[in-house]
Structure 1
Amino acid sequence: MCRAQEQYRFIPFILYQFVNCILPIRRPVVAKVHSPIYLMHRYFARRPHNLFQALISHYTKETEIILDPFLGGGVTVVEGLGLGRKVIGVDINPMAVIITELQVARIVLKELIREYMRIISEVEKEISHFYKTECTCEEPQLSWVEHSEICECPHCGKLLVLSRINKVGKGKYECPCGSVFNPNTKRRAKTIPVRVKCTCGRIRDASEEDIKNFQIYEDKSNFEKELSRYELDFPNEKIPLGKKSAEVINKGYLKYSDLFTNRNLLAFAYIFKKIRELPANAKNGEYPVRYALELALSSCLMEGSKLSHIKNGTVVKAGHHFWIPNISAEANVIRLFKNRFGKILKGKEMSERIIGKRYRRAYNFSDLRYATCLLLNKSSSSLSEIPDKSVDAIITDPPYGGNVNYLELSNFWTVWLKEDFSLNSGIIDNKDETTIDFYQNKDVKDYEKSLEYIFSECNRVLKDKRWLVLTFNNKDEKVWDALFSATERSGFYLHEDGMLHQPPIKAYMTTLHQRAKGCAFGDFILSFRKKEA
C-alpha cells in the first residue's frame, strides 16, 4: 500500500484520487500459450492473454472502461470482460471485429452442436467421395495429398518432379544433369500428387488412382459440371498487388480462387452453401449459429489452400505471407472443418465460463451505462462516438511498423465472408491502415503520422492522469523513433519506469513471425501517462 493509500484509507473513496497511486507495472509475466478462446479462429500476432490480464488488473478496477484502438485478435476485450471491466474495441480491419465478437458473444451451444451435426452428416454424404483413396482400412479417405511442381530443367530441357530430385539450397534444386536451378522464377508450374496420407494414418506414395481422382476435378469441364450440379459459387476477386501478394501474383496466381485446388474449392463452396441455409438471426440476441459455423470454416481456408505444406506428416498452414511452396499440401476440407469445430466448441465453452453474462453488447457509448462491450469497425483516428475524458485506461498492441500486413492477409478470409458480414467486394480498404508498406506508398513518416492521429484521439477520450499502455516490438530504431514522436506530440509522456521487457511465449519462439526481419524476441511494455493540461 502506498503512502497516499495509507493516509486516506478511512476516507470515502470518492475523496481519494486512487489513480495518483498507480505506478507502471514492473514485473514481466511468464507468457502462456493461447487459451481455447483464441484457437477458434486464426488471427495474426496475438499477444499472451495472461500478460493482458496482468495489465488490465494493474491499471484498472472493476466496471472501469478500457479502450483498445488496435483491437486485432481481441485479447484486451476478452480479458477485460473476463475481469469485469467495460471494453471498447476499435479496428479498421473487419476481421478483428468479427473474430472478437465470436470470442465474447453468447451462443446456444446445444443449437450449435445440433446444426453442426446435421450439416456435417449432409456434407459427408454428398462430397466425401472427393477424397476417396485406396487403403486396407475400413473407410479409406484422404487426410492430405502432397503435390510437387513439375519444372523443366533450363539446361537439359528434361521435365522434373521437384520432390524426386535433390534440393541443394533455399529454392534451389539439382537436376540429374548436374545443373542447379531455381524453379521459383517460372510462372505457375503444373503439379502432380506425389504422396498421400489416409485418415487411418498410413502415408504412402500417390497411386495412379490418386492421380486420376485429382485430375478429374482439375479438368475444367468436370469442375464446371460439379459447380452446376451442386449450384455452387466461390470468390472470383482478383488479388490486389501488395507486399505479401506480389510473389504469388508474379507466379501467375491472380485470383484468390487460384490459391486452391479445384477439389478443395468445391468442398469449401459446398460447406459454405450448407451453412448459409441456416437463419442469419438468433433468438434473444444470442450469437447466430450460422455465423459461428461460417467462421469455423473460414478459419480452415489457409490450411486448406495451396499455401500450406507437409511437415512431419502434418499439414502446416502458411505464416504471415502469401507463399506457395514448390511442394505443397492439399488437406481434406471435411476433416479440417471437423477439427476446427471442436476448437470452436471448446472456445465457446470457455468463453461462457469466464465471460458469460458479463457480455452485454453496446451499440453506442451511452449504452455502456448498462452494457459492457462496444466494438467499432473503423479507424481510430476519429473516435467521435466516444466523449472527452470518458475512458479509464487504454491498453493496446499497435502495428509494429510493417511487420504484419493485417489487411492484405485478411482479404483471404473476407472475400469468402462478404455475403453475411456486409463487406462489399470483400477487399478491405487500406487507405487508413497504420503501416509501412512500399506498395501502399507509406513510409515511416506516414506510419508516425497515423499513430499521432490515433494517439491524439486516445488522449482526448482518456481521463486525466490515466495511462496509455502498449506492447511493442521492432528492431528498427526509426520505427521506435516514430512511436515515441507520435506519443509525445499527442500529449503523452513515457514514465521514467515505464519500459519493461516482456519475454515471448516459449512455445512460439520458433514461429516465422518471431523469426521475421525487424522482429525482436519478446515485447516491451510501455506505460505512457497523459500530460497535465
Structure 2
Amino acid sequence: MTSVVPAQTSLESTFPAAMLSAVGTKESWRKEVHRPATSTHKWWAKRLGTVFRGILTSAVTPEGDDAASAYGSAVNLAGAVVLDPFSGSGVTGVEVLKLGGRAVCFDINPVATLVQRQAMQPWDMQALTTAYAAVEAACREEVDRLHQTEDGRTVLYYFWVATVECPDCSDRVRLFDSPVFSKNAYPKRVPKAQIVCPECLAVQESRYDFETATCPNGHAITQRGAVRGQVATCRHGHSFKTLSALNGSRPDYEMYAKMVANRDGSKVYEAITDWDRDLYDECVELLAGWPDTAVLPRGELARGNNTDQALKWNFRQWRDFFNARQLVSLSMIATAIRDLPGPAAEREALCALFSGTLEFNNLFTSFKGEGTGAVRHMFSHHILKPERTPLEAHPWGTPQSSGAFSTLYKSRLQRAHEYKAEPADLVDDGTDINRVTGLSEPLAATIADSWDSFSATTVQAAYVAAKNSADTDLPEASVDLVITDPPYMDNVHYAELADFFHAWLQEMQPYEGYAQTPTTRRVGEVQHADPAEFGKAIEAVWAECARVLKPGGLLAFTFHQARISGWVQVVESLRRSGFVVTAVQPVKGEMTTSIVKAGAREPSNLDSVVVCRRAVDGATNPNRSTEEALATAQKGLAALRDAGVDVGAGDIRSVVRGSLLAYFASVGTSLDDAVTTQVDDLATGTITALLAAA
C-alpha cells in the first residue's frame, strides 16, 4: 500500500513558513491557552501546535496548491497513520487526531507517555469532579492547618533562606544576595518593595532601590547581602566559597517571612513568629512517624549534565528537594490520589496534575514578585539549580495562589477538557490572527498499548507507549508519515530532569504498566553529549522509521543545534538509514523568550523543518550545487526576515548548516573537518549579508 503523501508536496516546495511563524509566535506567548491539551504537565522543548498542524497539512497538500489555505481549512487526513518516534508532550499526536488521522506516539520516557495520554484521551468531567472532591475531603483540611497563622489566616507563601557556617569563625551566614525579597515585576512603575533585616529577620516595607534603612530593632540595612556570586562573607568579614562551607551536607534553611491572605482578600507580608516555627517543627515530627504506606518520593540522583549542580550542593535523594512540611502535605495529596478506585482516565489525570504541581512546590522554586505569577518554577533554567532563597507555597492553594493543586486543576485540566471538546486553531486571515473553531475534530482518542489493538480500533485512536522507537511492533510499510522533533544532541537531558517527577509517580502508578524502575534513564536514549553516540542512537530510530514507512511516505522533523557536530550526526544518520533530505525549511521555533535563551550567546528563534524521503523510493536532493543549496537557505531566511520574523545569527548559522550538509550528504561527500569548515565559512558570510540587509 502506498502512502497518502503526494509525489511532490507543498512541505518541500511552497511551505508557508512566514504565515506559520506569525501564528506560531502568537501561540508561543501563551501555549497553555492556545494549546492546553499538551500543557497539562511540564515537558521540555515543547513544539508549537500551529507549526506542526502546518507541517501535517503541507505534507498532504500537492506542490502548487495553496498550503496556507489548507492550514486554515478542515483538512482531513482520512485515517492516515502518522508516527512520532520522539513524542514528548504529544504535540504531533494531538494535531494528527484533530485532522482525522491515526496517531502512533512513542517516547522512551514514561513521564512523557503520561503527558501524551492526558493530551489525547477524554475525561468524564462528572467523574473527574467526583474524584477531585474525594481527594479534597481526604487531605485538604489538614494541609490547610499546616499553612495558617496563629489567628487562623491562610499563609500563601513562606520565604526561606539557606544558611551555612563560616569556615573561619563558625558564624551562621544567611545567604541573602539582597535584603529585597519582594518587588513588583515593573519596579520603576511600582517601586514599593519588601525588605528583610539580615541580622534579626524583621520585615518592613521600603523601595526596591533603597540605599540604606534601619530595621525596627535598630540594625542598619544596605542593598548588599552576604553573597556575591559564589562567595559569601560573614559578619566578621571572612569571605569563602559557599560550596566549600557545606561540608558534605545539604544547606540548612531558615524561614524569614510569610505572605498571608487576610479575611478581606488582601495580602500582607509578615515576619516569622514562634507559632510558625512550632508549626513547622510539628511537620518534622509528623514526617518522622509517617506511615510506610504513604506516598513519598524515592530514589537517588545520579550524575548527569542536568543533575550535577544539585549534587554539588549535596542534594542526594529526590526527597531532599522538599522540606518537611512540603513532604507531609504533598504526601497526603498523592496518597489520596493513589488510593482512588481505578484504573481510570480521571484518576490518571489527577496523578498527572499532582506531578505537575511538584514543579512549583519544592526547594528549587523562587519568588517572582508582585504583578506576575508568584512562583518561579524549578525548571526555568533547564537544570536542577539550587535556590539560596527558596519559596514554599501552599500546595493545595487558594484562588490567590500560584502553582497550587487547586488552581492548576482549573487552569490545566478544566481548560484542556474544554479544548478537547471544541479545539480552536490560530488562523491568519490576512489582517489579524484569530482563534477559529470548527476546523478540527474533537479529541476523544481510545488509547491503545499495542499495534494489534490499535489497528483493530475503528474509532478515533492513538497508540501511545513508553518504548524505544528503534525497536517497535509496527509492521513494515504501515505508516504514511513520520512527523517528529528529536531530542537535542546535548544541553537538556530530559530523563535526568523527568526523574524528579518519576520519584513520586512510580509510587502512584498513574496508568497500568507505568515503569517501576528507579530512574527513567534508559539504554537506547538518543540524547548524548558524545556526537558519535548520538548519531548511532538516532540512526537506529531513523532506520526503523524507514522500515515502517509506506512507499512514497515522508519523514519530517524540526531541529536546531548550536554545535555543527549535531547537524553532522543527524544528516549522516539519515543517509546511513536510507533517507535523502528533500527540503530544509526555516520556521518559528518553540518559544519567544526564556531565561535560557536570554543567556545564550546566539539565542535561537527558528527551527529547521527537515523533510526526507527514502532513497529506495527514488528521492533526490533538489539542489544541484553548493551555490544552489546556499541560495535556497538564504532565500528561506530572507523571506522570514522580510515578513518581520526575528532572524538572528544563530538561526542563520543553523539553517545554512542544515541545507549545505544535506546537499553534501546527497552527493556522497564525507562530512569531514574540511567540509564543516567550508560550511561554517559560508554560514558566517550569510550572517553578515542577511543581518546587514535587515
TM over 0.5: yes
For residues 529 and 17 of structure 1, do their structure 2 counterparts lie closer, same or farther at Cα, with a shift above 3 Å needed? closer
Task: Kindly state the Cα deviation for residue 360 of structure 1 after the two structures are TM-superposed.
Answer: 2.9
Alignment check: 8 A CA contact 2:108 2:468 kept: yes
Partner AA of 1:347 in structure 2 = A
1:10 is matched with none
Alignment check: 8 A CA contact 1:65 1:393 kept: yes
For residues 526 and 515 of structure 1, do their structure 2 counterparts lie closer, same or farther at Cα, with a shift above 3 Å needed? farther
Range 98-107 or range 199-208, more displaced? 199-208
For residues 290 and 514 of structure 1, do their structure 2 counterparts lie closer, same or farther at Cα, with a shift above 3 Å needed? farther
For residues 96 and 315 of structure 1, do their structure 2 counterparts lie closer, same or farther at Cα, with a shift above 3 Å needed? same
Task: Kindly state the Cα deviation for residue 271 of structure 1 after the two structures are TM-superposed.
Answer: 0.9
Partner AA of 2:538 in structure 1 = L
Measure the CA separation in 1 of the matches of 2:245 and 2:560.
36
Measure the CA separation in 1 of the matches of 2:231 and 2:332.
38
Task: Kindly state the Cα deviation for residue 216 of structure 1 after the two structures are TM-superposed.
Answer: 3.0
Task: Kindly state the Cα deviation for residue 130 of structure 1 after the two structures are TM-superposed.
Answer: 1.0
2:311 is matched with 249
1:338 matched to 2:402? The reply is no
Range 48-57 or range 369-378, more displaced? 369-378
Alignment check: 8 A CA contact 1:82 1:358 kept: no
1:529 corresponds, among 613, 618, 635, to 613
Measure the CA separation in 1 of the matches of 2:287 and 2:5.
69
- SS of the equivalent of 2:126 reads helix
Alignment check: 8 A CA contact 2:4 2:80 kept: no
**Counterparts of residues 305-324 of structure 1 (less than 5 Å):** 305-313=362-370, 314-319=374-379, 320-324=382-386
For residues 90 and 446 of structure 1, do their structure 2 counterparts lie closer, same or farther at Cα, with a shift above 3 Å needed? same
Task: Kindly state the Cα deviation for residue 78 of structure 1 after the two structures are TM-superposed.
Answer: 0.9
Alignment check: 8 A CA contact 2:481 2:553 kept: yes
2:585 is matched with 499
Task: Kindly state the Cα deviation for residue 296 of structure 1 after the two structures are TM-superposed.
Answer: 0.9
1:206 matched to 2:269? The reply is no
Task: Kindly state the Cα deviation for residue 116 of structure 1 after the two structures are TM-superposed.
Answer: 1.0
For residues 517 and 428 of structure 1, do their structure 2 counterparts lie closer, same or farther at Cα, with a shift above 3 Å needed? farther
2:135 corresponds, among 113, 119, 122, to 119
**Counterparts of residues 461-500 of structure 1 (less than 5 Å):** 461-495=548-582, 497-500=583-586
Partner AA of 2:405 in structure 1 = F
- SS of the equivalent of 1:20 reads coil
Alignment check: 8 A CA contact 1:386 1:461 kept: yes
For residues 356 and 254 of structure 1, do their structure 2 counterparts lie closer, same or farther at Cα, with a shift above 3 Å needed? same
2:388 corresponds, among 321, 326, 341, to 326
1:27 corresponds, among 5, 8, 17, to 17
1:292 corresponds, among 349, 372, 376, to 349
Q: Deviations over 1:431-483 (max 9, x none)?
A: 2111124xxxxx11000011111101111111233321111121101111111
1:375 matched to 2:434? The reply is no
Question: Which one has the largest radius of gyration?
Answer: 2
Q: Percent identity?
A: 21
Measure the CA separation in 1 of the matches of 2:3 and 2:546.
24
1:193 is matched with 255
Q: Deviations over 1:143-188 (max 9, x none)?
A: 1111101122344542222223626643334444445433233332
Q: TM-score, normalised by structure 2?
A: 0.68
Measure the CA separation in 2 of the matches of 1:23 and 1:106.
31
Alignment check: 8 A CA contact 1:146 1:328 kept: yes
2:535 corresponds, among 417, 435, 448, to 448
Task: Kindly state the Cα deviation for residue 134 of structure 1 after the two structures are TM-superposed.
Answer: 4.9
Alignment check: 8 A CA contact 1:452 1:490 kept: yes
Alignment check: 8 A CA contact 1:415 1:425 kept: no
For residues 504 and 376 of structure 1, do their structure 2 counterparts lie closer, same or farther at Cα, with a shift above 3 Å needed? closer
1:423 matched to 2:423? The reply is no
Measure the CA separation in 2 of the matches of 1:15 and 1:121.
53
Q: Deviations over 1:243-266 (max 9, x none)?
A: 222222232222111110111111
2:202 is matched with none
Alignment check: 8 A CA contact 1:275 1:290 kept: yes
Alignment check: 8 A CA contact 2:3 2:479 kept: no
Range 235-244 or range 401-410, more displaced? 235-244
Task: Kindly state the Cα deviation for residue 397 of structure 1 after the two structures are TM-superposed.
Answer: 0.5
Measure the CA separation in 2 of the matches of 1:358 and 1:302.
27
1:267 is matched with 329
- SS of the equivalent of 1:401 reads coil
Q: Deviations over 1:367-406 (max 9, x none)?
A: 33625311121111112x1122221111100011122111
Task: Kindly state the Cα deviation for residue 22 of structure 1 after the two structures are TM-superposed.
Answer: 4.4
- SS of the equivalent of 2:55 reads helix
Partner AA of 1:37 in structure 2 = A
- SS of the equivalent of 2:137 reads helix
2:301 corresponds, among 227, 233, 239, to 239
Alignment check: 8 A CA contact 2:171 2:235 kept: no
Alignment check: 8 A CA contact 1:514 1:521 kept: no
Measure the CA separation in 1 of the matches of 2:3 and 2:349.
47
Measure the CA separation in 1 of the matches of 2:449 and 2:528.
32
For residues 513 and 262 of structure 1, do their structure 2 counterparts lie closer, same or farther at Cα, with a shift above 3 Å needed? farther
RMSD over aligned Cα atoms: 2.5
For residues 531 and 514 of structure 1, do their structure 2 counterparts lie closer, same or farther at Cα, with a shift above 3 Å needed? farther
- SS of the equivalent of 2:447 reads coil
Query: Which segments of 5 or more consecutive residues in structure 2 lack a partner in the other structure?
Result: 61-76, 177-197, 199-223, 398-403, 424-440, 618-694
Q: Deviations over 1:488-521 (max 9, x none)?
A: 11111222x4232425533xx1233674578633
Alignment check: 8 A CA contact 2:591 2:605 kept: no
For residues 65 and 513 of structure 1, do their structure 2 counterparts lie closer, same or farther at Cα, with a shift above 3 Å needed? farther
Measure the CA separation in 2 of the matches of 1:486 and 1:167.
51
Partner AA of 2:114 in structure 1 = I
1:216 matched to 2:285? The reply is no
2:144 corresponds, among 125, 128, 136, to 128
Query: Which segments of 5 or more consecutive residues in structure 1 lack a partner in the other structure?
Result: 1-13, 438-442
1:405 matched to 2:493? The reply is yes
Measure the CA separation in 2 of the matches of 1:261 and 1:15.
55
- SS of the equivalent of 1:102 reads helix
Moved over 6 A (4+): 14-17
